[in-house]
Structure formats: structure tokens, C-alpha cells
Structure 1
Amino acid sequence: MKKIIYFITAISFFSCSKKAEQDDIVNSSTTSNLTNVSCTVLDKSSFHKQILANGKIEAHDRSELRFKTNEQLEKVYVSNGQTISKGAIIANLENSLLKNLLSKAQIDFEKAKHKFIEEKINFGYGQVNENEVPKNVLKTIQFKAGFLEAKNNFENAEILYNQTILKAPFSGIIANLNSKYGNFISSSDVFCTLISQNNLEVIFNILENEMSFVKKGQNITLTSFSNSNQEFLAKIIEVNPAVSKEGFVRVKAKISSNTNHLFDGMNVKIIINNTLEKILVIPKEALVLRSNKEVVFTTKNGFAKWNYVKIVDENNSHYAVSEGLKMGDTIIISGNQNLAHDAKVKKTFIRNK
């Protein structure tokens, strides 16, 4: 009798264990069909686009200075890195002979002036203003006094003498000065370079597809590679309306902030910020690839739905989308890497990004 009871008990225990195992399989199967995902509700917002480029500083006022004559260098008044004002003397060639000729021409011109006054008196125009003397009479007086010839000789001597003196055509900084006292200087030699720090520009290239985000008058930021913590402001003054064979567009901007730490020829980093208003923006983690196409999953009635999208731009963290999604869609932003179309999903939480 005890054996029968033990047998019935063993059968009952085995049946209960088997049922429990089957229930666990069913529950496990049901749970494994659900994918936990994180979602956010899509809305139109501002998209902050950033374009990065490398540029080079150029001085708008930059001149390679040369003497207009050939002679031995007599004196240099400046040095590299020195700031000078417009009209300041930079250097002069040996000019003692020309200086003497200039003095003689000046003396002859003064004599001619006195002779001119005497001839005016002889012609009866001593008290008459020169502008009131008839033109034909005035020419005769000037010719007899040797006035025009003396004036011409003086002006020629002055021109020749001034060609031996190099002056700054504008205010700026001296650069590339290598000649020394006693060197023979030719009119074909570049004596030095004068660079104005007050009118610096930056030249850089952007990609062809970035042209729509750059326009004349737009503000940009630049930093030097030697000091990335210091930013300088500039304004775009020119966008070249031509694309190079490499696919680049040349842009020029005028630097508006203090340029004490920028120099002609310096390489800099360009940062262009632009904002697209009222556009659909998704986090980068929401985008996945399916069949080499860009896909964003949305949820509907507990199922995942994939949507082919068109990306118009991107920054470090987000994409701007023009097609494939609409405002109010609930998009999946995590748990989507191995997700399939119509897969069952469980939204663990929704967060706005």
C-alpha cells in the first residue's frame, strides 16, 4: 500500500515539475520577444551647424619696397619687427652727388624767379598778379627769364635725389629686411616688406556643398594654432562665385578684433556657426543602417517601424532630417542596433533630446 502511495506521489511531482518548466518556457519566450528601447518624441527645433576650415592670414596692405635706382646702401633707419608711420624714412642710398646737383638746381631756380620778376617789370606787369598777365605775354616773360627751364631742372634733380631715399607708403611693420650698410642695391631687389597690422584678412576654402551656409557679411571665429584659447572675430567680405576642380570655394574675411597676435602668413583654424530654424533634429544614436540606407525606427502600438530618412546636415551630436519623419513621431534612440521592422518593443522611458 505504501508503495502505491509513493508511486502516485512521484507521478504527481513529475507532472507539476513538467508543467512549471513549460510555463517558464512560455514566459521566457514571451519576454524574449520584447526589446527594451529608449524613445523621444520628435519636434521641430533649431539645428546648430558648424563648419570647420583651415585658413591663412593675409595683410590687405602689404608692399614689397624697392629703390628706384642702383647705388650703394648708405644708411638703414629701421629693423625687422619695427612699427613705423607713413612717410617715415626706411633707408637711403649714397646720394652726395645728387644732393649737390639738387642744391645747384635749386639755386638756379631761385635766380630764375628773380629774373622772372625783373622781366615782368620790364613788360609793365610788375604790380599785376601772375594769373592776370595775358598767357602769351606770360610765356614770353618766363622764356626770357629762363624760368621754365630752371624749374624743370630743379624738379628733375629732386626726383633723382628722392629715388635714393626709401619711405613708408603707409603705416606698418617692417619685415624681410636683410640688406646691410655698404651693400650694393639694385632697383630689382626687394629691400624689405611693409605690412599693416590694422587691416588683416583671412583666406580659407569651404566645400562646394557648404556654400549655402556661408554668405557675405556673416561673422566667423578664428584661432591660431599657437594659442587655441584666444579667439578672433572676422566678417566675411567675399565669397568667390567659382568652384575649383578640387571642389572648393575660396572665401575671404576681414578680421575685426585686435590683431596684435596675428601675423601675415600665419595659419589659423576657422569656425563658422550657422543655425537652421524649425527643422526636424534627431540624436545621432537614432540613426542606423539597413541595406546601406539610413533608417530611423519609430514605435507604433508596441511595434518598431523603420523609416528611410534623408539627412541634410550634421554636427557633433545631431542630424537635421528633411524627409522620412514627421513632427510628433516617437523615435527610438537606443536598443535599435539589432532591431527589425515590426519587432515588438517595450518603451522603458521617454526622454527629450
Structure 2
Amino acid sequence: MTRIVGYVLIALLFCNCKNEKTDFEEVSPTSNSASNPQVSVQVIEDQDFQQQILANGKVEAFKKGELRFNTGNRIAKINIRNGQRVRQGDILAYLDNDLLKNEVDRAQIALEKAEAQLVEEKINFGVSKLEESEINPKVLKNIKFKSGVQEAINVLENSRLLYDQTILRAPFSGVVANLDSRVGNFITSGDVFCTLISDDSMEVSFRVLEGELGAISLDQEVSIQPFNNAGDVSYTGKINEINPLIDQNGLIAIKALITSKEIQLYDGMNVKVLINYPIQDVVVVPKQALVLRSNREVVFTVDKGLSKWNYVTVAGENSSHYAIKEGVNVGDTIIVSGNLNLSHDARVNSTLVKENN
């Protein structure tokens, strides 16, 4: 009897456990096939596309000169240092010129004596009270010849020219560079004393491929960016020279005058040059909208909640966008994020975002 009661209790316990398991299965949620991927979408708008040509360039001062003395001697004084800004006409340095200075003084004294003699000659000729314009030209010439005034003037001018050759002046305003000479050094007329760079006008020299020449013209605007561009600094310029020769590498030399004010560029600095030109009859999409599938370029669109796989033909690109020749159209809703692992006809949850222009 005891054994029968035990079997009954075990059976009841087994039934209760089975009922509890069945109830758990009934209340647990049914599993979805997969959660729909979240994507961001944009509507393609009709807009212009600017193709970009990127080239490496070098900044050059539009006005730069190697300064030399017109004569040779020992350097007596230097008024400048590298990096100093000077104005046109400023004296940069002197050569040892004491002897030449003495010659100028002697010539000045000789002229003053000749002018005193000229006064006496005018008295002798009876024209002392007349202005020189009122004196007969032949008489005036004879008077000056006898007084020695004209000769003294010529000697003084010649001595001043020789003296001025020992003084180096700035031919234009700019910044001093490559100054290696020291006081006491002997320098000749063939030696470069320093280089003067005008940073008022700078230009950039660069080269483009022969096939890109059709997109370039005089006065076309360019963007110039230093390689160490930590603050996203950009300057503008205009193409002012196109060399009509193609070198052995198929490249064409171009120069652009930098038009921005207050530039922080230096002669010899390496920069990036960007040239924009429009491409017509294309659809513009952000770069993140394009992915590769089977080694082909694809843009996903959304139609009734399903992703659609579209092969596209790219006509060009710039730093942020692609120009699409065919495959998608203006007004299509394209996927711009969440498309890296997306498949065709996948159901997606989409969020419309605006493009940052």
C-alpha cells in the first residue's frame, strides 16, 4: 500500500512539472527572423558637381632678388638680420668707404671754389645782375668753362656714384633671407650679400597632367592648403600662367597668383593645390553612399522599406561627393549609412537625414 501511494505522488509531481514548462513556453515571445537594420537615408537633390584636380605645388615669392654690392671691399657695417622686414630704400649694409667719403668732400669743396670763381667771371663779363636764363647761352658757357664749375660738378657726381656703390639699399620692401656675411668679411661685386623676398605678392607653381589641361584656364580660381594644415587653413589664388610645353612626363607647368590677404606662407613652402571645375548632366551623391559589391560600385536605395541594389557609373569625384552618370536619379532615396553589409531586398528601418552642405 505504501508503495502504491509513493507511485501516485511521483506521478502527480511529474504532471505539475510538465504543466509549468508548458505554461512558460506559451508566455515566452515568438522570435523574429532578424531585427531590421537601422540606416540613414537622403533624397538625391539636383545640384551642381565640382570635379577636383589635386596637385602638389611650391610657394614662390612673386618678387625675389639676390642683392650684391656694385664694388668690392671689406664690410664695415650691417644693419639687418635674417627674417627682418625692410622698406624700399632702407640701408642694409656699408662697405669700408672712408677714402671715397673723403673724395666726395674734396669734390664738394672744389665745386664751391668754382662757384666763387663763377661769380667773379660774371662780374668781369658785366652780367652779375642777370639771371642765367637772361644771359646769352654762348657767354654763359664761356663763363662756366673759365670758372671750372662744370668740371667740378662732374667730379662731384662721379665721386658720389663711387661712394654710393659702397652702400647697399633695399630695392623693394620685403623680408631678408640667406644673410651669411659678417662685419669685416671681404666681399666682391660677384658675391651675394643676402636675398630679399617680397611677401606682398606670392604665387604657387605646380604641374598637372596633360589630360587635365582642358579643365584649366587663365584667371581660374584655385584653393591652396599648406601640408601642415592643422587648422584647415585655405587660401585662394588665380591662375596667371600656363606653360604651353609638355615635359617628358606628360606634365604641364602652371602658376597661380595668391590673392588672399594676410597669408602665412613662405617662399619654398610645399602646398596642396585644388582646382574645381563643373561636370554637367550627373547625379551627385555623398561618398559614403557608394559601396563595392562583386567589385562593382553600388548605391543602395530604399523602396517601400526594402533596400535596393543599384549598379552605378561614376563620372568623377571630389573630396566629399561622387558624380554618378547612370544608376540612380534625382529624387531617389539613397542609403548613406548602415550600407556596408546590406543585401538586396533587405527590410530596413530608415531615418531621413539632411546633408551638410
Per the normalisation by structure 2, the TM-score is: 0.70
Choose from 261, 267, 272 the match for 2:270: 267
Give SS of 2:235's match.
strand
Amino acid at match of 2:175: I
Equivalent-residue separation in structure 2 for 1:127 and 1:157 (angstroms): 32
Choose from 87, 96, 99 the match for 1:97: 99
Q: Deviations over 1:160-201 (max 9, x none)?
A: 111111111222222111111221111100011112232222
Give SS of 1:91's match.
strand
Aligned to 2:200: 198
Give SS of 1:200's match.
strand
Q: Deviations over 1:95-118 (max 9, x none)?
A: 111111111111111222222233
After TM superposition, give the deviation of residue 124 of structure 1 in Å: 3.4
**CA distance 1:176–1:299, change in 2 (3 Å):** closer
CA contact (8 A) 2:222 2:239 kept: no
Equivalent-residue separation in structure 2 for 1:142 and 1:305 (angstroms): 102
**CA distance 1:232–1:113, change in 2 (3 Å):** farther
After TM superposition, give the deviation of residue 316 of structure 1 in Å: 3.8
Which residues of structure 1 form unaligned runs of 5+?
A: 1-37
Task: Figure out how many residues of one structure are paired with residues of the other and give that number.
Answer: 310
1:1-353 mapped onto 2 (5 Å cutoff): 44-211=46-213, 212=215, 215-216=218-219, 218=221, 220-225=223-228, 227-229=229-231, 231-245=233-247, 246=249, 247-259=251-263, 261-273=264-276, 279-282=282-285, 286=290, 309=313, 311-322=314-325
CA contact (8 A) 1:98 1:160 kept: yes
Equivalent-residue separation in structure 2 for 1:263 and 1:40 (angstroms): 43
CA contact (8 A) 1:295 1:306 kept: yes
**CA distance 1:78–1:314, change in 2 (3 Å):** same
Sequence identity of aligned pairs in percent? 41
Amino acid at match of 2:163: Y
Give SS of 2:70's match.
coil
CA contact (8 A) 2:51 2:317 kept: yes
Give SS of 1:197's match.
strand
CA contact (8 A) 2:222 2:273 kept: no
**CA distance 1:110–1:264, change in 2 (3 Å):** same
After TM superposition, give the deviation of residue 346 of structure 1 in Å: 7.0
**CA distance 1:307–1:215, change in 2 (3 Å):** farther
Equivalent-residue separation in structure 1 for 2:245 and 2:300 (angstroms): 38
Give SS of 1:81's match.
coil
After TM superposition, give the deviation of residue 217 of structure 1 in Å: 5.2
Aligned to 2:33: none
CA contact (8 A) 1:221 1:272 kept: no
Give SS of 2:244's match.
coil
Aligned Cα root-mean-square deviation (Å): 4.0
Give SS of 1:112's match.
helix
After TM superposition, give the deviation of residue 144 of structure 1 in Å: 1.6
Per the normalisation by structure 1, the TM-score is: 0.70
Q: Deviations over 1:288-318 (max 9, x none)?
A: 698x998889999x9x998784x44212453
After TM superposition, give the deviation of residue 155 of structure 1 in Å: 0.6
After TM superposition, give the deviation of residue 156 of structure 1 in Å: 0.6
Equivalent-residue separation in structure 1 for 2:187 and 2:117 (angstroms): 41
Amino acid at match of 1:147: V
Amino acid at match of 1:253: L
Equivalent-residue separation in structure 2 for 1:46 and 1:68 (angstroms): 59
**CA distance 1:319–1:141, change in 2 (3 Å):** same
